[in-house]
Amino acid sequence: MSTQRPICIMETGYLTSGQCYIQMALKVKNSSLIEKYSKKFFAICTPFHLNANLENMTLKLESKNNSLIKMPEEISSLDTAIKWSLENAHPNSTNNLATLSANSKIIVYNVNHAFCDGGMFKQIFDELQKSEFTEPKLNLPLTFFSTYVDKIKSAEPHILSPKNPKFTHFQPIKEENSKYSDDNIEIVFSEINAEDVFNYENGHINKLTAILTASMILSAKALSDYNDGYGVQAAIDVRRYMDDNIKSSWDLNFHSGNIGIDCEKPKTIKELIDGLDDKLKYEIKNEEWLNHTHYLLLPFLNPGDKRYINFDDYGLGLYLTQMGMFRANEDISDIMINVNQENNVDCIVLQSYSFICGNKNILRNHIIFRKTGINSNLAKRYLNLIDYCIKNFKLDSDVHEFISLLKKINKEN
């Protein structure tokens, strides 16, 4: 096995100027599962068999002998395990695009984001729990740009930018100690029982993505004062548009696009959530990610194209990635997903997912930040307000009065 192809334009950033690595940590109930799961990881995860040559921008698939990196036994929490992996088992952007580390209870998959996303994490998670296993034939990963290149180029470019003033922005602080430190990797996260979410009903959280979006928006407005719009940029798994015979392929390492979720001048919480939910459904139904992708690629495909707008700096944008549910059997007792952005970005990310096991249904939210002007204390205060919204929204509340309430809560904490 030794084949190669050019590195796709959508992979370049994660490998070069905007290196980004994502982690999936699992806690197992039986230590014998570590060896079983590690063999599956190495067999099904293409990045373990890839090399990226950044000089001539080629990606090569070849057979490799991968080994499990030993993690200290005293590590017992998933966030600590992820931190250890980032400090002691960090992948690189060339010949080790992924690593796997473990002790007797926890296993951590750490991989370059160019070749893995939330949809792939879910596929791996489900495959690990299957009793029967057939080792797949691995191929060079497909990219959604090459898969949809004709549709992308034929789509009308629709503006999508975290700097767009129609979206909501977060005002960075100007403290000397606000700079993100590589020496102190902090994972800012929270856990909420699903039944504590304000509109949980019959085992289901209705309009969860819209609720998360509304919570991000109002909490940012409580901490900032830009008098801007009501909206965020969001990730979408584009596998949903594929035929069933390909959407579960191990070749679809990264197949995520971008959409915009916004609402104009809502008066009440209900108007805000319903408006955001309507826009979300519109963007999904009309495959707006194609239009947005064309817009984002205009500087590369058509340099100087006047349809691309260079917005002025307008605070930090908000970005949502909602990965859905991870449903476990009796073998896995917990999961944690994390993103480690290596370079400064102009966004604050809310990453959200649910873990379901037996009677446990947990909504876990992370704040991902990497920018001078944002520190862990501010990220925690922001997440506290988001969680308050998720649990305490009242649909008939006035939007501006609710923002005032959030400001008061922030001052008290």
pLDDT tens for 235-288 read: 999 999 998 888 889 999 999 999 999 999 999 999 999 999 999 999 999 999
Choose one of 116, 134, 167: the last residue of a domain: 116
How much is the pLDDT for 153? 93
Q: Based on the fold, state whether residues 80 and 178 are members of the same structural domain.
A: no
Q: 46 with 40: CB under 8 angstroms?
A: no
How much is the pLDDT for 103? 98
Q: Based on the fold, state whether residues 227 and 90 are members of the same structural domain.
A: no
Q: How far apart are CA 326 and CA 232, in angstroms?
A: 24
Q: Based on the fold, state whether residues 273 and 184 are members of the same structural domain.
A: yes
Q: CB within 8 A of 328, min separation 6: which ones? A: 125, 129, 335, 355, 356, 357
Q: Is residue 391 part of a domain?
A: yes
DSSP secondary structure string for all residues of 321-342? EEEEEEE--SSEEEEEEEEEE-
Choose one of 116, 149, 178: the last residue of a domain: 116
Contacts of 92-95 with CB under 8 Å at 24 or more apart are 93/15, 93/16, 93/19, 93/52, 93/54, 94/51, 94/52, 94/53, 94/54, 95/51, 95/52
Read off the DSSP letter of residue 140: P
Q: Based on the fold, state whether residues 110 and 162 are members of the same structural domain.
A: no
pLDDT reading at 181 higher than 70:
no
Q: Based on the fold, state whether residues 39 and 110 are members of the same structural domain.
A: yes
Q: Based on the fold, state whether residues 111 and 162 are members of the same structural domain.
A: no
Q: Based on the fold, state whether residues 101 and 165 are members of the same structural domain.
A: no
Q: Percentage of the chain with pLDDT > 90?
A: 81
Q: Based on the fold, state whether residues 200 and 320 are members of the same structural domain.
A: yes
Amino acid at 308: Y
Domain interval for residue 226: 158-330+341-412
Backbone angles phi, psi at 203, to 5 degrees: 75, 10
Rounded to an integer, the average pLDDT of 119-125 is 97
pLDDT tens for 187-208 read: 999 999 999 999 998 888 999 9
Q: How far apart are CA 318 and CA 262, in angstroms?
A: 11
Rg of the chain over CA atoms, in angstroms?
A: 21
Q: Is residue 59 part of a domain?
A: yes
Q: How confident is the model at residue 17 (pLDDT cuts 50, 70, 90)?
A: confident
Q: Is residue 20 part of a domain?
A: yes
Choose one of 65, 87, 116: the last residue of a domain: 116
pLDDT tens for 21-73 read: 999 999 999 999 999 999 999 999 999 999 999 999 999 999 999 999 999 99
How much is the pLDDT for 1? 55
Q: How far apart are CA 404 and CA 413, in angstroms?
A: 15
Angle at 43 between CA 38 and CA 46, to 5 degrees: 110
Q: What is the pTM of this model?
A: 0.95
The structural domain count of the chain equals 2
Q: How far apart are CA 369 and CA 170, in angstroms?
A: 12
Q: Is residue 55 part of a domain?
A: yes
Q: How confident is the model at residue 10 (pLDDT cuts 50, 70, 90)?
A: confident
Q: Is residue 141 part of a domain?
A: no
Q: Based on the fold, state whether residues 238 and 296 are members of the same structural domain.
A: yes
Which domain CATH number covers 385?
Answer: 3.30.559.30
Q: 249 with 127: CB under 8 angstroms?
A: no
pLDDT tens for 325-373 read: 999 998 999 999 999 988 888 899 999 999 999 989 999 999 998 776 7
How much is the pLDDT for 186? 85
Sign, Cα dihedral of 340, 321, 251, 300: negative
Q: Is residue 140 part of a domain?
A: no
Q: Based on the fold, state whether residues 240 and 378 are members of the same structural domain.
A: yes
- What does pLDDT average to over the chain? 93
Among 291, 300, 299, which residue's Cα sits nearest to residue 155? 291
Q: Based on the fold, state whether residues 189 and 313 are members of the same structural domain.
A: yes
Q: Percentage of the chain with pLDDT > 70?
A: 96
Q: Is residue 42 part of a domain?
A: yes
Q: Is residue 336 part of a domain?
A: no
How much is the pLDDT for 280? 98
- Tell me the range of 1-5, 36-40, 223-227, 299-303 where mean pLDDT is highest: 36-40
pLDDT tens for 83-106 read: 999 999 999 999 999 999 999 999
Q: Based on the fold, state whether residues 218 and 324 are members of the same structural domain.
A: yes
Which domain CATH number covers 20?
Answer: 3.30.559.10
